[in-house]
Structure 1
């Protein structure tokens, strides 16, 4: 019977080993579940931090976009004010040129040029000194033909418009450069 006495002991040992295996399996499963729970919590925290970072980036981008829109609006207003100023200068110059042309056409105004009294090649025998009773003082002058005077006024008008357009372009470039 001694052999049979060992047998229950080996069944006991096998039962203990089996029980230990079951406990170890349960403990391993519990360890995996705890680790899974910790890992899930870490992932949730990382996802929350990532969402906050994205939100901050979106807010910063929106603020930059608002700043750029404000700058663009300010530039548009400056350019509009500059355009109005230069349009006003151009219309004033055109109005003044129109008045000058009208005065030349009605003989209300006469254009004249200075003559060099010492230039013998000019072939002009205009005296350097005025005659008695004359109203002309200073250097001798010659009156221009009204048609030539109109052409001179047209040339100066084109020059004035060119200068005003140049000033407008320079103001535009300065405004863009700011």
Structure 2
């Protein structure tokens, strides 16, 4: 006895059609699963490649960032050293100016200027001789201490400006020089 004989003759056509439909459905389902597996594998490989490329780019970016951070740190150290140098120059100049100003105030030192013509009654002679020696050379006139203080203040401001300018120029040169 065959399997087909178990089905009533009126339903045999439907049974054969149902069996063929089941076989076709199973084949389609199997093909679907196989294609899904292949496509999934292909997508996984593609995603792995994309991940590797992204990882490589990230590592390259981190390496470049580390290099730039090292450059920045070196530049900051150099600028800090330049700032310290210019600050020391500025403070030394201020100390020198303050010392000179104090000496002018206590009359330890007097400022004098060269005169282009001799004193009116001196007939072109040099400044008068002191008890310790004779003054030779061009005729000089002494400045009033208040005027000397103003001159020292002006030169102090000029010195500070020149030192600040030198610091700015060194900074601009260091920052603008390509490395």
Determine which structure has the larger helix proportion and give its number: 1
- Residue number among 122, 125, 143 corresponding to 1:129 in the alignment: 125
After superposition, the Cα gap between the structure-2 partners of 1:42 and 1:64, relative to the gap in structure 1 and judged at 3 Å, is same
Does the CA-based 8 Å contact 1:127-1:140 persist in structure 2?
no
If the length of structure 2 is used for normalisation, what is the TM-score? 0.76
Whole-angstrom CA distance in 2 between matches of 1:155 and 1:56:
62
SS in structure 2 of the partner of residue 137 of structure 1:
coil
Where do 1:36-75 residues align within 5 Å?
A: 36-75=36-75
2:93 — aligned with what?
Answer: 93
SS in structure 1 of the partner of residue 113 of structure 2:
strand
Does the CA-based 8 Å contact 1:117-1:139 persist in structure 2?
no
Whole-angstrom CA distance in 1 between matches of 2:136 and 2:84:
44
Does the CA-based 8 Å contact 1:101-1:153 persist in structure 2?
yes
2:151 — aligned with what?
Answer: 152
Measured after TM superposition, the shift of residue 136 of structure 1 is 2.6
1:110 — aligned with what?
Answer: 110
Q: Structure 1 segments of 4 or more deviating over 4 A?
A: 11-25, 131-134
Is the counterpart of residue 164 in structure 1 residue 172 in structure 2?
no
1:80 — aligned with what?
Answer: 80
SS in structure 1 of the partner of residue 141 of structure 2:
strand
Measured after TM superposition, the shift of residue 149 of structure 1 is 0.9
Structure 1 unaligned residues grouped into runs of 5+: 1-10
Does the CA-based 8 Å contact 1:101-1:150 persist in structure 2?
yes
Across the aligned residues of Structure 1 and Structure 2, the Cα RMSD in angstroms comes to 3.1
Measured after TM superposition, the shift of residue 140 of structure 1 is 1.4
Aligned length: 167
Measured after TM superposition, the shift of residue 33 of structure 1 is 2.5
Measured after TM superposition, the shift of residue 16 of structure 1 is 7.8
